[in-house]
Structure 1
Amino acid sequence: MSETPLRLLLFNLVTDADHLVLAFTTDWINALAPYCEYIDVVTMQVGRLAVADNVRVFSVGREQGYSEPRRALEFYRILRQLLAEREYDACFAHMMPLFAVMGAPLLRDIPITTWYTHRQRSTILRLATMASYRVISAVASSFPYDTEKLRALGHGIDPDFFVPPAQAHDKPPRVVQVARLTRIKNQHVLLNAAANLDCEIVLVGDTAEGYSTHYREELKALAAELGMTDRVVFTGRQTPEQVRDWYQQATVAINLSPPGLFDKAALEAMACGLPTIVSNDAFTDLTGPQRKLLHISTPDATEELRQHLMTILALTPLQRQQIGQQLRNGVVAHHSLQQLAKKVISVLRTGELPEDD
């Protein structure tokens, strides 16, 4: 902290402490704030602000229903105004390759670092990669292009928020999956795997806003077909506090995201001390000696998932608690919000991770 504080320009998708999916970005901004003289955030959409005193937030107006052309005009108006008022040492584009591309011509002397964690490719992302000094992601496999600019930083989970319960949940056995209701998250695989098991299934999440609810209805029909309607819970959209509560009230968590999606929901479950079955090899460093128990070979390996669930549910509460504590220790050590903030700041300053990483 003895280094000169950064003067940071930050591009963000949604800055809203109450957003059901992206509220965490407020935590990220606040974690970066102690390292900065000031942070100016240009965001696509704004809601309730709960940011540090040295942070200002400017929205291009999606929350007001502005059209895309008007939002583009607002972006350039805001950016030109900020560049006239202040100097910046770096620009951090968080899941906003569009703003990185749009801003690049005006930011020629300000290095852009773009965070992107998703396997989806696009022309905009490719252009953002070209325009950026560095691109950063949770793990190398969660960025869809091969580039020497890439640095893998891990995720940023708040271990003071996602904590184990005072008493581990045991009865009734409850399996929780936190994810949007979409086929890529494979909730149908979990239902098929658990059909003949003595446990409750809780699907935390809903379809993305503005998208078809067809898959959700498919899942409800599948639950009925399998005769498990009375033990499958569809929670709908949940606040971060409610999501944490579901983790704390569960026996085991499931994450069936495919390679390329290093899902922070799995890390949140682990931070809550919950044994978590995953299908992505990117979690290997965390599962360590429990890899054989916690990994299935592919996201659609139904029978494999059934066997793993049976094994974990047959463990004693103490055995599950010990596994969960090992997972939590790994998340705290390598994927905490504080660790991530230090890594992001280091890349913004030097282009590289801290030397101790």
Structure 2
Amino acid sequence: MRILLINFEMNEDSGVLAWQAHVAYSLAQKSEFVLVLTEKPGRYEKLSNMEVEVVPKRPYGIPRKLGSRWLFALNVALLCRRHRIDACFIHMNYTWSYVLYPVFKLLGIPVLTWYAHGRVSNALRATLFCSSRVVTSTPEGFRIRSPKVRVIGQGINTSLFKPSVEEKAGKHDLIYVGRVSRRKRIELLISVMQLLTADPHTSRIKLKIIGPLLTGDDIIYERELRSQITRFALQDKIEFYGSVPSDKIPLFYASVFLHLNVSKTGSMDKTVLESLACGCPVLTSNEAFFDFFKQYPDFIITNDQPAAIAEQVIAHYNRKGTYPAGALRKFVEGKNDLYSYTDKILTNLSEIMAP
């Protein structure tokens, strides 16, 4: 199969989207050829059967807001013809599904789009119309009902995210991993830390915050968080690490007793699964995991008041080390790992290619 893969970023050092490069590698290993169309190149491995084309920031010198992406469709059509593309997989960068719809329709190229987020917009409705099929992580990850939609789980690189040989004993720290943005409700974690610090039994607990700032509002939000930390006198209890390359994150998971995730994205956050793959327990309020953790109800936040979350954190602190890393890793292996994910992508591509 000869695949056009459209994504946001091809960069193993990306603080958020490094997995897009790993998905490209995995698809290339199982396909005849992969042409990657990306908007942000960085460090990536050059494979013999994979080519990477970069979308200019200003195609033809025209700002994108003036419609230059639509003009760029001609370039994509020529690339598809030159490389004899059989099918297209759009990984997250879903608006290309309707921008390139005339090209795909003209060339008879079926389109598979990945979307895993709780938000529904007119752009998403257009994506559903223009895609041959949509794949998502959980039913909550794509909230428009359609026979086109398939649930396939997530794609965690379990070769990278695995229990560390440098496992730290006597853990007293918590961790948050993900973008620093308002949707992640990090201010709630700071309020939880205020309560934990006031309790002599848990006063040693510290919080590590790992994640990039991607927008101007993220920068403002981080300033607000730092002000909250100062107001609560928690400067020596909470540390921001900024963007950390994905290959360094497993060491952080090895140094903590619990990963906290209180986002309300409505989709299956990859960081929760990456934590589990590393053998680190989690505590999440994300509704996409409610059914997922039916056998582990203590991993779910049912009351998102700071005092209630603090009680759950203390319960985990008291029984830290009781969750076998192998048992946690089973949540990911064979169901939500990169290898089964790309197999499912290829299966869906084959099905939409069928006459």
TM over 0.5: yes
Cα distance in 2, alignment partners of residues 279 and 51 from structure 1: 39
CA distance 1:330–1:315, change in 2 (3 Å) = same
Stretches of structure 1 lacking an aligned partner (at least 5 in a row): 1-5, 353-357
Query: 1:1-357 alignment to 2 at 5 Å?
Result: 6-62=1-57, 67-68=63-64, 69=66, 71-72=68-69, 75-108=72-105, 109-166=108-165, 168-197=167-196, 198=203, 199-258=205-264, 260-284=266-290, 286-291=292-297, 293-297=298-302, 300-317=304-321, 319-320=322-323, 322=324, 324-351=325-352
- Distance change (3 Å), C-alpha of 1:22 and 1:316: closer
| SS of corresponding position for 1:180 | coil
Q: Residues 282, 246 of structure 1: CA spacing in aligned structure 2 closer, same or farther, 3 A cutoff?
A: same
Please report how far the alpha carbon of residue 288 of structure 1 lies from its aligned counterpart in structure 2 after TM superposition: 4.1
Q: Give the CA deviation at 1:102.
A: 1.4
The answer to which of 114-123 and 161-170 deviates more is 161-170
**C-alpha contact (below 8 Å) 2:166/2:251 kept by paired residues:** no
Displacement of 1:13 in angstroms is: 1.4
The residue identity in structure 1 corresponding to 2:257 is T
Asked whether the equivalents of residues 4 and 34 of structure 2 are also in contact (C-alpha less than 8 Å), the reply is yes
Once the 2 structures are TM-superposed, how far is the Cα of residue 253 of structure 1 from its aligned partner? Answer: 0.5
Contact 2:194–2:234, Cα closer than 8 Å, also in 1: yes
For residue 55 of structure 1, what is the amino acid of its counterpart? M
Amino acid at match of 1:225: R
Q: Distance in 2 between matches of 1:27 and 1:238?
A: 17
Counterpart contact for 1:172–1:200, Cα < 8 Å: no
The answer on whether the counterparts of 1:247 and 1:274 sit within 8 Å (CA) in structure 2 is yes
**2:343 counterpart letter in structure 1:** K
Amino acid at match of 2:299: L
TM superposition score normalised by structure 2: 0.89
Go from structure 1 to structure 2 and tell me whether the alpha carbon gap of 1:168 and 1:304 turns closer, same or farther (over 3 Å shift).
farther
Separation (CA, whole Å) in 2 of partners of 1:106 and 1:206: 35
d(CA) in 2 for partners of 1:47, 1:259 = 27
1:23 is matched by which residue type in structure 2? A
| Partner deviation per Cα, 1:242-272 (whole Å, 9 max, x = no partner) | 3222112111101112252210011111111
Q: Answer whether contact 2:73 2:103 (CA < 8 A) is retained.
A: no
Q: 1:212 to 1:168 in 2, by over 3 A?
A: closer
Partners in 2 of 1:118 and 1:314 — Cα distance? 34
RMSD value, Cα: 2.3
**CA–CA distance in structure 2, aligned partners of residues 99 and 253 of structure 1:** 34
Displacement of 1:159: 0.9
- Alpha-carbon deviation of 1:29? 0.6
Give the letter for the 2:99 counterpart: M
Higher relative CO (Cα under 8 Å, sequence separation at least 6) belongs to 2
Q: Percent same amino acid among aligned pairs? A: 25
Q: Structure 1 residues 12, 75: CA separation in 2 closer, same or farther (over 3 Å shift)?
A: farther
Secondary structure, counterpart of 1:107 in structure 2:
helix
User: Alpha carbons of 1:63 and 1:233: their partners in 2 closer, same or farther (altered >3 Å)?
Assistant: farther
Give the stretch that moved more between structures: 100-109 or 42-51.
42-51
Conserved 8 A contact 1:138-1:153: yes
What's the offset of the Cα at 1:27?
A: 0.3
- The separation in 1 between residues aligned to 2:97 and 2:245, in whole angstroms, is 29
Q: Which moved more, 1:221-230 or 1:303-312?
A: 221-230
Q: CA deviation at 1:179?
A: 1.7
Q: 1:266 to 1:14 in 2, by over 3 A?
A: same
Q: TM-score, normalised by structure 1?
A: 0.89
Structure 1 window deviating more from structure 2 (259-268 vs 24-33): it is 259-268
